[in-house]
Amino acid sequence: MEKHIRGVNVKSGESVDRALKRLKTKLDTEGILEEMRRRRSHESTIDRAIRKARTAPKRNKVRWRFQSESQVATAEAAKAARSAE
């Protein structure tokens, strides 16, 4: 796994508080803070399953948004075939 150094450059005349806010925003959008909190302690198998089930609707919503029309038609046909059985 590659390690990248995350950071922000403090612009001239910019306060340190503003630079810290930019850093926190950057880490939050990349999901680093959430992953760090998650790895802080051991996560049991059931906790992992619950976490994944909780985040699945969001992942599927994003996946659905970027599907092409042919992929949507194929998925609907497969769903109809399963319900017909």
54 HSE (CA, 13 A, CB side): 6
Range in 6-10, 11-15, 25-29, 48-52 with the lowest mean pLDDT: 6-10
Predicted confidence (pLDDT) per residue in 17-41, tens digit: 999 999 999 988 888 888 888 899 9
Sign of the C-alpha dihedral computed for residues 25, 26, 31 and 32 taken in this order: negative
Q: What is the CA radius of gyration of the chain?
A: 20
What pTM, to 2 d.p., does this model score?
Answer: 0.48
Total H helices, total E strands in the chain: 4, 0
